[in-house]
Amino acid sequence: MKAAVYYENGDPSVLKYEDFPDPVCHPKGILVRVEAVSIEGGDTLNRFGGPLVTKPHVVGYQAGGEVIEVGSEVTNFKVGDKVATSGAFGSHAELRSVPARSAWHVPNGFDVKKASVMPVAFGTADDCLFEFGHLKAGETVLVQAGASGVGVAAIQLAKRAGATVLATASSDERLEKLKRFGLDHGINYRTHDVVQEVMRLTDKKGVNLVVDSVGGSTLQGSILSLAYRGRVSMVGGAGREGMKVDVSSLMGGNRTLQGVFLGAEIAGDRAYNNIQRLINEAAAGQLEVLIDRTFPLSEAAAAHAYIESRKAVGRVLLIP
Ligand SMILES: NC(=O)c1ccc[n+]([C@@H]2O[C@H](COP(=O)([O-])OP(=O)(O)OC[C@H]3O[C@@H](n4cnc5c(N)ncnc54)[C@H](OP(=O)(O)O)[C@@H]3O)[C@@H](O)[C@H]2O)c1
């Protein structure tokens, strides 16, 4: 098969388009002909500095496609089914082998490209807001990096749960594109101080919940934006900074800093079934998947460079 591989960590130019051995189907797994690769925030971070499990390495958490082989112990998938898949690596390729527990059914008529975006972004956003963030109707949420894959999902899910939604991004153009997903107030962090803006928009009360996938100095702002009993769901390090933060403002306000890692939950029944529910809701038109742009798999380097230019709002896909 063809795959986008790299031999060393680095900027997007390390990605090469080469022949790579076909993966094998395991007894508890399925083999998928990939139709769309969703480039996740974690993929760019892993390319930049993550471990190379093989050399060359095929990076990537997420891809959707058609089942072409089913392991002898698998009963819930058949050849021809359309699936969205997730895994630790291996998405940037024409074929993908995953455990059946890392694949979700794509309902008839729902675009596989859209489904390929969903498990990690929507599953994570939903966990940040509800399972760990305990969001209630009437509360106010701040989504850091609202134009990210996790951010676009979090804005929609928070809005439909009855929250007022604030989000940050690096430009007014990016914020403008988020309004149709339910964004009430956008904060351009390049031109405005986020904490000051949050306090202005909330009559100095602060927000009840922050979804923070950026970390570092952004996380510090998230903590300082909290209302009394406010919670931060800390879920990523897209800002590529250290995570040293001052937590001294938490105790006096009965505030909580909560880490969230979908990877530790995804194989359990709760998270697995939750992701299938979210895919079904998108297929029924109740959630929207935002695909910014597609590139051929052979142009993975250009796709990663485009994401790092900070122009993408929502997901960028690779098409084998
Ligand atoms: N813990 C978990 O279970 C879990 C699950 C999913 C994702 N994550 C993590 O969450 C983070 C976001 O994932 P994602 O898929 O939503 O990412 P994404 O779609 O690639 O978006 C990342 C966003 O971060 C913002 N950003 C801020 N500083 C940045 C920097 N120095 N370089 C690049 N972007 C920067 C950018 O928006 P602006 O330009 O508007 O600032 C960008 O749109 C990643 O760290 C990922 O590993 C964790």
CATH of the domain at 82: 3.90.180.10
Does 311 fall in a domain? yes
Does the beta carbon of 14 sit less than 6 angstroms from any atom of ligand 1? no
Predicted pLDDT at 20: 97
Does the beta carbon of 213 sit less than 6 angstroms from any atom of ligand 1? yes
Does the beta carbon of 240 sit less than 6 angstroms from any atom of ligand 1? yes
Predicted pLDDT at 267: 86
For residues 138 and 255, membership in a common domain is answered with yes
Does 81 fall in a domain? yes
For residues 70 and 157, membership in a common domain is answered with no
- What CATH number has the domain bearing residue 223? 3.40.50.720
Pocket test for ligand 1, best of 143, 213, 234 (most atoms within 8 A of CB): 213
Q: Closest residue (by CA) to atom 21 of ligand 1?
A: 148
Predicted pLDDT at 229: 98
For residues 141 and 114, membership in a common domain is answered with no
Q: Which domain holds residue 215?
A: 133-259
Does 127 fall in a domain? no
Does the beta carbon of 307 sit less than 6 angstroms from any atom of ligand 1? yes
For residues 63 and 155, membership in a common domain is answered with no
For residues 113 and 215, membership in a common domain is answered with no
Does 94 fall in a domain? yes
| Å from CA of 243 to ligand 1 middle | 14
- How many structural domains compose the chain? 2
For residues 166 and 223, membership in a common domain is answered with yes
For residues 223 and 283, membership in a common domain is answered with no
Does the beta carbon of 7 sit less than 6 angstroms from any atom of ligand 1? no
Does 111 fall in a domain? yes
Residue that is last in its domain, among 243, 259, 275: 259
Q: Closest residue (by CA) to atom 32 of ligand 1?
A: 239
Residue that is last in its domain, among 259, 281, 306: 259
For residues 41 and 77, membership in a common domain is answered with yes
Predicted pLDDT at 242: 86
What global pTM score does this model have? 0.97
Residue that is last in its domain, among 259, 285, 305: 259
Q: Closest residue (by CA) to atom 48 of ligand 1?
A: 236
Does 72 fall in a domain? yes
Does 151 fall in a domain? yes
For residues 64 and 108, membership in a common domain is answered with yes
For residues 153 and 229, membership in a common domain is answered with yes
Q: Closest residue (by CA) to atom 43 of ligand 1?
A: 148
Contact 59, 92 (CB under 8 A): yes
| Å from CA of 148 to ligand 1 middle | 6
For residues 109 and 219, membership in a common domain is answered with no
Does 125 fall in a domain? no
For residues 13 and 89, membership in a common domain is answered with yes
10-residue mean pLDDT series, the chain (320 residues): 98 98 98 98 96 94 98 98 97 98 97 98 98 98 98 98 98 97 98 98 98 97 98 96 92 97 95 98 97 98 97 97
